[in-house]
Amino acid sequence: EIRDKAAQSGSRFNIRLDRDLRNEEKTPAFIMMALSDYLLFPPETFGENPSVAKHMAPAEPEKPTSLEKGMKWEDVAAIYGMPKSMTEEEIAGTKVSKCVFEKDDQIVEVTFVEGLVAKFSIASK
């Protein structure tokens, strides 16, 4: 019977505050900040509050749309697709890959060093 009553009543907990805390500091915002690691207070109900940032999924990083030095191989492939040709060699213990990509009316030659763009050229077909 006690469990049924508790289930119907909802969850409750006690909050103990430091006795030295001034009354003006004992605000709903203070409580929400203290509990923000454990609870999400929906902003549509409670307004902007610290719990929202802690519980939001991190934004996906923007995907690159143009070729730049230092880009990862995966990012280049996301823009241009798989290369039409690729050669790999090791120079002084460093992996060097040369790829040719074709997209639309472009031929893109890219040299990767250890998986990062070291140099590139773009020409029309």
Query: In whole angstroms, how far apart are CA 57 and each of 29, 38, 52, 60, 94?
Result: 22, 15, 10, 9, 37
Over range 10-33, report the average pLDDT. Answer: 81
Contact 76, 117 (CB under 8 A): yes
Query: Does residue 48 sit in the same domain as residue 85?
Result: no
Over range 54-75, report the average pLDDT. Answer: 82
Residues 125, 106: Cα–Cα separation, whole Å: 6
In a domain? residue 78? yes
Query: How many domains is the chain built from?
Result: 2
In a domain? residue 97? yes
User: In this structure, what are the phi and psi dihedrals at residue 112, rounded to the nearest 5 degrees?
Assistant: -105, 135
The confidence score (pLDDT) of residue 28 equals 81
The confidence score (pLDDT) of residue 105 equals 93
**Residue 16, Cβ neighbours under 10 Å: how many?**
5
**Enclosing domain of residue 105:** 73-124
In a domain? residue 68? no
Residue 115 has pLDDT above 80, yes or no: yes
In a domain? residue 27? yes
Specify the pTM.
0.52
Domain CATH for 89: 3.30.1450.10
Contact 117, 67 (CB under 8 A): yes
Cite the DSSP H helix spans in 21-96. 28-35, 43-46, 50-55, 73-80
In a domain? residue 26? yes
